[in-house]
Copies of this chain bind each other. A is one copy, B any other.
């Protein structure tokens, strides 16, 4: 077969794989949003079966042979080459993990989740410890299967953040800690300058939904290629760039959280909806990594949605919709959106400044678990020591400490850093966007999100996985990931908010 015929054959296999994965996306969405409760067991079997089908397609020997034959072939254009590179990475990762290990992983992550739910409810870490230890062991086996020459934790990081390593993360997180720990302490010493009790004024769910939807629309989300529903855990899912479904939850006594959640998920959704439709069924159009995905949600949530320009336009409409805000000033409102909460122990509820410290803590514990410096049984003590050191607070029990996150119970080791990488990329991207298009803040203040969205579309969304992450960042901003943009942004923003 000639090169282009081989490429066509490979692309057809990848399109079929994409279709199966998209069908899985619908099954998951359906399960969370509309499925009747009695269907849970049957749904588990449907998802397991389609997962096997997807795995068969991804690991098919003909796909592997085609991808190997195409690798480095200059008859392909740049997009095709990138597509082959991305597909081959996924193919090799999948074929290198033996079926028995895939099965064991499936069984133990399911068991791990069940045991964790109970252990968290009982606030009893040692009940979870043996399963967690086994999951760490299985994750090491998976990593060794994928690449026996690399440290296990680097292989795990690579799954969520291709190319990321401990050697790169350690200095980045060290620099971030060196700034954040004293900075948060300084803010704590200063105290809250302004009352934010309005944040807990009750707002009916229907009102939250109506205003939130207006914001989602104003950001440019397409309801023609998506929908907005309510779920216990907000997420952005669906089936490819023409079917991007976001969800939110409404807490009647905490409207800010729901609103920011909608902006966050819309940020993810704009990335998905902005993918290159000409390659919608190929790996090359997919979002680059978890960290880049999170950069899009956090850019909209933090850089835009918690900043003054955006609310210059939208705050009057919010005051109109929520009359109890009538006497609040725009500055008081923006302060309230960003208020640092020194007492919060829970990552998912953390503000912009303390969130990275929650993540770095988890990263350091994971890294040490996998390099042998830390044992599973010692996790609670290590956790509590670190959080006291970073935030000056200690959890009263494991439920509010080491047992709070779902990730480890489902074997998602190496995932946490993506959240903070996202925050760092978000600051770097937004600064560059404004540098290139200085009107962006003015446009946002006039209710026009298009200039920013278009810049992200061209630099990030439409690019998909054409370039490796460093290259993507370099082309978008002129340099690779640099934490100083986030640090500058945070220092300036919070110094102003807290009059430091």
Contact = CB atoms under 8 A, between A and B. Distances in A.
B240 A36 contact: no
Contact of A46 (B22, B37, B227): B22
Contacts of A281: 45
Contacts of A240: 39, 42
A15 interface: yes
Nearest to A31: B26
The residue among A23, A38, A50 with the most chain B CB atoms within 10 A of its own CB is: A23
Nearest to A41: B242
Interface stretch (A95-103, A217-225, A248-256): A217-225
Contacts of A23: 23, 27, 46, 49-50
| Copies of this subunit | 2
Contacts of A37: 224
A41 B242 CA distance: 9
Interface string A53-65: 1000000000000
A222 B20 contact: no
Interface in A312-345: none
Contacts of A41: 242
Most chain B C-beta atoms within 10 Å of own C-beta, residue among A30, A42, A225: A42
Contacts of A222: 38
A266 to B, nearest CB: 15
A21 to B, nearest CB: 9
Nearest to A227: B36
Given A26-B30, A225-B39, A49 B239 contact: no
A226 interface: yes
B239 A38 contact: no
Contact of A239 (B42, B53, B238, B280): B42
A19 interface: yes
A16 interface: yes
A49 B20 contact: yes
A453 B225 CA distance: 43
Given A38-B242, A239-B39, A46 B27 contact: no
Nearest to A225: B38
Interface string A220-250: 0011111100000000001110110100000
A171 B240 CA distance: 53
Contacts of A224: 36-38
B36 A22 contact: no
B239 A16 contact: no
A34 interface: yes
Interface string A280-301: 1100000000000000000000
A386 B242 CA distance: 47
Contacts of A35: 243
A222 B37 CA distance: 11
Contacts of A30: 26, 30
A43 interface: yes
A49 B243 contact: no
Interface in A346-401: none
Nearest to A24: B23
A243 to B, nearest CB: 4
A420 to B, nearest CB: 32
Contacts of A20: 46, 49-50, 53
B19 A50 contact: yes
B226 A49 contact: no
Nearest to A30: B26
A46 B242 contact: no
Given A42-B280, A45-B15, A45-B281, A34 B227 contact: yes
A43 B18 CA distance: 11
B239 A19 contact: no
A238 to B, nearest CB: 8
Contacts of A49: 16, 19-20, 23
Given A36-B227, A38-B226, 10 more contacts: A19-B45, A23-B23, A23-B49, A36-B243, A36-B245, A38-B225, A38-B242, A42-B240, A43-B243, A53-B53
Nearest 9 pairs between A and B by C-beta?
A: A39-B243, A19-B49, A38-B225, A38-B224, A38-B242, A19-B46, A39-B242, A23-B46, A42-B240
23 contacts: A16-B52, A19-B48, A19-B49, A20-B49, A20-B50, A22-B42, A22-B46, A23-B46, A23-B50, A26-B27, A26-B46, A34-B34, A36-B226, A37-B224, A38-B222, A38-B225, A38-B242, A39-B240, A39-B242, A39-B243, A42-B242, A42-B243, A46-B239
